[in-house]
Structures are given as structure tokens and as C-alpha cells.
Amino acid sequence: MPITDYIRTIPDFPKPGIQYRDISTLLGNPEGLRLSVDAIADHFATDDIHCIAGIEARGFIFGTAVAYKMGLGFVPLRKPGKLPGKTYSESYQLEYGEDQLEIHVDAIEPDARVLLIDDLIATGGTAEAATNLIRLAGAHVAGFCCVVDLPDLGGMDRLRRKSIDCLALCEFEGE
């Protein structure tokens, strides 16, 4: 069964006109979750990856599972004020405002090759901010992957323009 079959669409959430792609149904299905984690790990298995970084919060779910499967460590990219040590911070634009991500300054070894993971990419602002943080920490983004891509919003193209190898397990048209 394709990954899209495990993801339900909730119309008009969180506002009218939005088709919300709910991955909770995928997470709740053992086969769907296994397929997702295996597909990501298998795709990047031959790359020289040193650690996995996940974007808060759903990137943690897939990121830690992939890190475990690949025998790698996991680095959380968090919202402001959630990490107790010294951090780098990166701001990014949201549809209605601004947000930030942070990473511990010592979370990644210099020159490490990092696989960045999130559940979904839309416009790519969050993923681009995460990429900037990894680079600020002195590491390289070896790849980006997500379960769901909304290609009409251009996020993957935004990352590819930065020469980042990108993988999405499935796509949905529209917002």
C-alpha cells in the first residue's frame, strides 16, 4: 500500500480552504510507520551520514526512528527556550508572523554530514532555517527528507536550489 493511503486529509483545518494532511493515522499504523522509516533509512543508507537532525516536533518522531535504524545519533532542532545550554538561533517567516529554531552550539561535530528530517514540507521556511542552523554549527546538510511534500508551495525546490539532496515519501497537490 502506498504511503498516501496511510495519511488522512482533513478539509478546512486549521482554516477554510486548507487540506490538512494528518500523519497521525500513519503513525498509528505499524506497517505505515515501518514503511516510512525503512524508506528513509534505505534511501540514505549508502550516503556518508554522521547524524540525524529532526525539526520540532514531528521531525523528532521520524528522526529518532531513522537514527536508531541507521545506528546514528539524533540532534533536536527546537523552538526557542527549550534547550538548556548555549544555542544558535535562526528566525524564519511563517504565513502569519515569525518563529525561531535553536540548536545547541555543541550538538554536531564540525564538518559532520547531517540528514535533516521533518514530517512535512510546505513553503520550506522551517527547513531552510534548520539548514542554516546546521551550517552555523559548522556541519553540512547531506540531505533532507520528509514524509509529505506539498509541491505546489515550493519548499523542496527551495532546498534543491541550495544543492540539498531531497526526498519526500509522498506528495499531495494543493495546500
- Catalytic center residues: 58, 95
Q: Cell 554536531, residue?
A: 108
Cα–chain center distance at 56: 8
Q: Tell me how long the chain is.
A: 175
Contact 19, 175 (CB under 8 A): yes
Cα–Cα distances in Å, from 68 out to 9, 63, 73? 29, 9, 8
* HSE (side-chain half, CA atoms, 13 Å) at 153: 20
